[in-house]
A = this chain, B = another copy of it.
Amino acid sequence: MLLSKLVGERTKNGPADATAASHSLLIRAGFIKLVSNGIWSLSMPAKRIAQKIEGIIREEMNAIDGQEVSFPVVMPKDIWAESGRYFSIGEEMVRFKDRGGRDMVLGMTHEEAAVQFSRDAVNSYQQLPFMIYQFQTKFRDEARCRGGLIRVREFTMKDAYSFHNDMDDLKSYYEKAYKAYENIFRRIGMKKVVAVKSDSGMMGGSISHEFMLLTDIGEDTIVLCPECGYKANMEVATTVRKPLRDEVSEKIEEIFTGDSHDIDSVAQLLKKDKNKTVKAVCYFLKGTEKVVVCFVRGDLEVNESKLTKILMSQIVPADITGSDVLHAGNIGCYGLKKDNLAGVYYDESLRSTNNMVAGANKDGYHITGLDFDRDMPGIEFVDIAKVCEGDVCPVCGKPLALENGIEVGNIFQLGTKYTKAMNMTVLGKDGTAFYPIMGCYGIGIGRALASVAEESHDEKGLIWPMSICPWHVYLCGLRLDDEQVKETSDKLYSELTKAGVEVLFDDRNASAGVKFSDCDLIGIPIRIVVSPRGLAQGTVEVQTRDKKICENVAINDVTSFVNKIIAEAMNQLK
């Protein structure tokens, strides 16, 4: 490829609002072009990287007996109504009417399509297990796109669906998929990836794992135990908290706290630690005005994912202004009238605590001296609090660490949710029909590309791993008006290309500075510089992006030298 014809503007500065390095660098290198919020075009180098990532994923999916298929982007309402998701998914799903007035959706994922595709064709347990997968465009109308290709609305996803006779078979296949995922991330050159147990959310299964790239710009929080290796998404992470119980229990007293309505000011006013206070948080069950009240220790936060799971309902923060029962800023668990509430939940962190400060359910007043054992007998405690840095590991008891991460892949044990809802049955060995058990396995291609960029760059630009680089070699002719430089460059371009080396030839009449900085920005692993000075010695300069190799190589040896660098780099990514 000739750089002079490559479409994609290279610029000095990225967008002012870019918070992710990958966002800024992919734009600066001319790899991506914004079309609309969360919708991008990819230029040739980005497309080539995406194709190489897809190629690696394809090999790994085929290695675990995947059948590559294709489901449509536009689907009819009916199959999404069968699964129930037409109704349960919110505004993220695009719905429209076709010219015939029929309700259609844009696919956010393809469980429904996979079952619709398989249910007539597969009738016998003998046809199981099988796995079908595709690379297909998804559209999710995200409210909050960010980070360039990190969180977008339209993206290409590899989504795979496996079907099994029983749970054991799913589990053993799930293990294989897990390993395939590890292979994929290793092979595309992503390093700090960890698999964490996760909440399966709208997928609706039981066991699932998210593969997270640990990076400061990640918007997911992962709870890690550096000691025993425990890993979990914040949404499902647990800890063990010892009850903060003083030896002597004071008695309950009502105290005027005036305008002190939040934990900080109440704790300060009463000279108490925040962990000796009780925090009240109110939610509406989504779409209703039914209020749920949650109580957690004052130094903790409610984990809404855990709460949602317990409630089996979506929630939204409640505005309780005007309520007779709930006095904003003074809500307390002691003496609370529960008649009109949809539920009251007490977090485990409050179990057996005493001498606690809580709202008095009366404007301007709190109580002190609350003893949960003495004053709140018989209540049940549930785990609805977020884990904090330093909390105790539920496995080994050592302190937990929190890290940020980007979800780069996920795998789910779906169970029979979709086969049951969509009535896909097969005949078992004994002649009775059963619902196949499903697993599903996703990787977003664009996000994977951006995540590698996020992990692998420096102040000069992108640094692509050899396995997914847009081209292996950046061929840089300095002073192309010099006939010998031109001739040698042309010769190397043709020779390398013939040898299967992918070359981006900077054929512009530009300065060395411009060429070198573009080379670094685009992030091609190997740079070859053809210059009059080198040619005087019969050599060209071969340098790797990471500067580990920088040698003057005789012109006739260049192809074998370069091929060796490529082979070694690929070997390390095996």
The residues of A with any CB-CB pair to B shorter than 8 Å are 1, 4-9, 30, 33, 35-37, 39-44, 46-48, 50-51, 65, 67-76, 79, 91-92, 94-96, 98-100, 102, 104, 106, 113, 116-118, 120-122, 126-127, 130, 132, 134, 137, 139, 141, 143, 153-154
Q: Is the CB of A7 within 8 A of B130?
A: yes
Q: Assuming A35-B76, A67-B44, A74-B154, is B7 touching A132 (CB within 8 A)?
A: yes
Q: Assuming A4-B126, A7-B121, A67-B6, is B132 touching A72 (CB within 8 A)?
A: no
Q: Is the CB of B40 within 8 A of A72?
A: yes
Q: Assuming A91-B99, A139-B74, is B118 touching A7 (CB within 8 A)?
A: yes
Q: Is the CB of A70 within 8 A of B91?
A: no
Q: Which residue of B lies closest to A76 (CB)?
A: B36
Q: Which residue of B lies closest to A94 (CB)?
A: B96
- A436 to B: closest C-beta gap in Å: 12
Q: Is the CB of A68 within 8 A of B96?
A: no
Q: Is the CB of A74 within 8 A of B44?
A: no
Q: From B37, B72, B99, give the contact of A41 (CB < 8 A).
A: B72
Q: Is the CB of A104 within 8 A of B42?
A: no
Q: Is the CB of A113 within 8 A of B35?
A: yes
CB neighbours of A75 from chain B (8 A): 35-36, 39
The CA of A30 and the CA of B48, in the complex, are separated in Å by 32
- A9 to B: closest C-beta gap in Å: 4
- A471 to B: closest C-beta gap in Å: 12
The CA of A137 and the CA of B154, in the complex, are separated in Å by 12
29 A–B pairs (Cβ distance < 8 Å), ordered by A: A5-B127, A7-B67, A7-B132, A8-B121, A9-B121, A30-B121, A33-B117, A35-B72, A35-B117, A36-B72, A36-B74, A36-B102, A39-B72, A39-B74, A41-B72, A41-B116, A41-B117, A43-B69, A43-B121, A44-B68, A46-B70, A47-B68, A51-B68, A72-B154, A74-B94, A74-B139, A94-B96, A94-B104, A95-B96
- A446 to B: closest C-beta gap in Å: 9
The CA of A99 and the CA of B153, in the complex, are separated in Å by 11
CB neighbours of A96 from chain B (8 A): 94-96
CB neighbours of A94 from chain B (8 A): 74, 96, 98, 104
Q: From B43, B65, B99, B106, give the contact of A143 (CB < 8 A).
A: B99
CB neighbours of A141 from chain B (8 A): 98-99
The CA of A75 and the CA of B34, in the complex, are separated in Å by 11
Give 4 new A-B contacts, CB below 8 A, not counting A7-B127, A41-B116. A6-B67, A9-B120, A33-B116, A33-B117
Q: Is the CB of A122 within 8 A of B7?
A: yes
Q: Which residue of B lies closest to A508 (CB)?
A: B126
CB neighbours of A74 from chain B (8 A): 36, 39, 94, 106, 139, 153-154
Q: Is the CB of B33 within 8 A of A50?
A: no
Q: Which of A41, A98, A118 has the most chain B CB within a 10 Å cutoff?
A: A41
CB neighbours of A98 from chain B (8 A): 94, 141, 153
CB neighbours of A47 from chain B (8 A): 68-70, 134
- A70 to B: closest C-beta gap in Å: 4
- A38 to B: closest C-beta gap in Å: 9
- A136 to B: closest C-beta gap in Å: 8
- A50 to B: closest C-beta gap in Å: 7
- A63 to B: closest C-beta gap in Å: 13
CB neighbours of A65 from chain B (8 A): 5
Q: Which of A47, A51, A102 has the most chain B CB within a 10 Å cutoff?
A: A47
Q: From B42, B71, B91, give the contact of A69 (CB < 8 A).
A: B42
Q: Is the CB of B116 within 8 A of A1?
A: no
Q: From B37, B42, B67, give the contact of A70 (CB < 8 A).
A: B42
CB neighbours of A139 from chain B (8 A): 73-74
- A135 to B: closest C-beta gap in Å: 10
- A85 to B: closest C-beta gap in Å: 16
Q: Which of A8, A36, A42, A91 has the most chain B CB within a 10 Å cutoff?
A: A36
CB neighbours of A40 from chain B (8 A): 72
The CA of A95 and the CA of B6, in the complex, are separated in Å by 33
CB neighbours of A70 from chain B (8 A): 41-42, 46-47, 50
Q: Which residue of B lies closest to A163 (CB)?
A: B7
- A315 to B: closest C-beta gap in Å: 19
- A208 to B: closest C-beta gap in Å: 24
CB neighbours of A43 from chain B (8 A): 67, 69, 117, 121
Q: Which residue of B lies closest to A68 (CB)?
A: B47
The CA of A47 and the CA of B122, in the complex, are separated in Å by 19
The CA of A121 and the CA of B27, in the complex, are separated in Å by 11
Q: Is the CB of A41 within 8 A of B154?
A: no
Q: Which residue of B lies closest to A112 (CB)?
A: B35
Q: Which of A30, A44, A50, A153 has the most chain B CB within a 10 Å cutoff?
A: A44
